[in-house]
Amino acid sequence: IGKQISTLTIIRILIGFIAPIVGGVISFLVSFNVTFVLGAIAGTFSLIPILLFHAPPHPRGYDFKKVIGILNKPDLKAIRPAYFWEGSAANFIGTAWLLAFAIFIGNILELGLLVGITTLAAAILTWLTGSWFDQRKRKAILTRITKIRFLTVMLYVSIFFYPNIIYVWLIELFNKLAVAVQYTIVDSYLFAYSNKIHPIHFHLNREIHLNISRFISSGLLAIAFYFLPANYLWVSIGIGAFMIFGWLTLKRSDHLLH
């Protein structure tokens, strides 16, 4: 499981290397708004492979009550908190950090280069991480990497006091390495769950609670950004760091993998 997820993570990281750099260059040479337009077009094209899938000969129908009943099963409820904190932490950290960089540190082109290059560098550890997951105790690895990830995110806050560009690059690199390790471990966990739970139910449960958390956290951030000064962005990053500990709720459902 770990090695399979590592391969998928490497592919995702390569995409994460190319996209920010292209976006930064386009924003610098043309317009920041053009980046959003091209992103929307790329997202539309990414749906084409889904449309090419053949529907099953006898698709199952679900009514609302049946779906609610399925999502309330103990095995699905056990991993629900992790999804909520995943979406919330990603919003608080990712959104605030990008805005903080653009406002306090550099321009969009520098941001694209920073995110792209450090993301590519993080690919070095992903295959090893998958091997560790397969060979060692899951709970211990999850706890260890969650603590490391918390520390690397908190280092972002220190940039407010020392906005040196070399220091920023080092922190971004450390954070991307921690993200690569964390998501490889967490995805390995979730992939293992999907082997125990019906794939449709698994992904439905995940997407519902991810989007609930994104909706709530985005609303809170929008309100805060409207009423509070830009310095609040650093506070948001710090709050997101504590949300990372929500991943540890996965340990409560570790018995489902046996």
pLDDT of the residue at 154: 92
Residue 102's nearest CA partner among 153, 151, 22, 159 is 159
Q: Pick 232 or 16 by higher pLDDT.
A: 232
pLDDT tens profile 24-57:
778 778 876 777 678 778 777 776 766 666 655 6
Average pLDDT over residues 83-87: 86
The type of residue at 124 is: I
Confidence tier at 236 by pLDDT (50, 70, 90): very high
Structure letter (DSSP) for residue 61: P
pLDDT of the residue at 38: 80
Alpha carbon 87 to chain centroid, angstroms:
7
| Residue 229 backbone dihedrals phi, psi, to 5 degrees | -70, 170
Neighbouring residues of 81: CB distance < 8 A, sequence distance ≥ 6 = 246, 249
Asked if residues 116 and 21 have their Cβ atoms less than 8 Å apart, the reply is yes
Average pLDDT over residues 11-25: 74
| DSSP-assigned letters across all residues of 130-166 | HHHHHHS-HHHHHHHHHHHHHHHHHHHHHTTT---HH
pLDDT of the residue at 59: 57
pLDDT of the residue at 238: 92
d(CA 249, CA 77): 11
Which helix (H) or strand (E) segment is 179 a member of? Answer: helix 165-196
pLDDT tens profile 87-139:
899 889 888 888 888 788 776 677 777 777 777 666 666 555 555 555 556 67
Confidence tier at 235 by pLDDT (50, 70, 90): very high
Supply the mean pLDDT for the chain: 76
Q: Pick 120 or 152 by higher pLDDT.
A: 152
Domains of the chain: 2-50+63-257 (1.20.1250.20)
Asked if residues 116 and 18 have their Cβ atoms less than 8 Å apart, the reply is yes
Residue 230's nearest CA partner among 102, 39, 76 is 102
pLDDT tens profile 195-215:
677 767 777 777 888 888 888
pLDDT of the residue at 242: 94
d(CA 225, CA 13): 30
- pLDDT > 70 in the chain, percent: 69
Q: What is the CA radius of gyration of the chain?
A: 19
In angstroms, how far apart are the furthest CA atoms of the chain?
61
